[in-house]
Amino acid sequence: MSELQYVILGISVAYAIIGALLLLVLVYARLHWSLKAVAVVVTSAFYVISFTEMRGLLGWATTARLPTSFKLLHARIVEPHTLEGEPGAIYLWVEELDEDNRPSAVPRAYRVPYSDALAEKTHAAENEIKAGHPQGGRAADFGGGDGSIIDMVREYVTPKIILETTGGDSSTGEFKMPTDTQLGAVFTPLPPPRMPPKDEQ
């Protein structure tokens, strides 16, 4: 299973445990039956809401750290709009690579803060891909920290935070981009996968 599937499974198990604990409390608590009925209905409603809403979670670009090494499949540059208060963002559709440059076959969307230098490098990488020259990258060139369940739930539940792409802190799991002068190569030509050594006869 992918990381996101583990997240959804974990949330589902957590809700099941909460429901079981609620049932245990209601069985032994000395409350009026109407209060117990309301608690059961509200909890059941949240099961339905969480089930339907978690499916939408699959479509959000994550702010988690990029894979150590990846192949860039596609990108979209959203420039800042000062009048609308949108700081802009760069969306990267990438595929993780192993140590032999073999793709994982599990593409994932990532969102990183906008900067002029990164936008130029991303645009150049897109042109190279269109010309038939695959492009790769490394997480080390993008800074940032490791994402968490809290970060994904937070950006999903609070629309305002989805637009806050002005940077971040490694303790929160959001990207903290290097400055334009510190930004290195970011994207480079992708070497072909290394083949395993042939058995010597």
The token pair at 86 is: 């949108």
Report the range out of 13-17, 108-112, 125-129 with the highest average pLDDT: 125-129
Could you tell me which of 146, 91, 151, 82 has the C-alpha nearest to residue 118? Answer: 91
C-alpha count within 13 angstroms, C-beta hemisphere, residue 178: 14
- Is this prediction's pTM over 0.95? no
pLDDT tens digits for range 62-102: 888 888 999 999 999 999 987 777 888 999 999 999 888 88
Sign for the pseudo-dihedral over CA of 137, 143, 147, 152:
negative
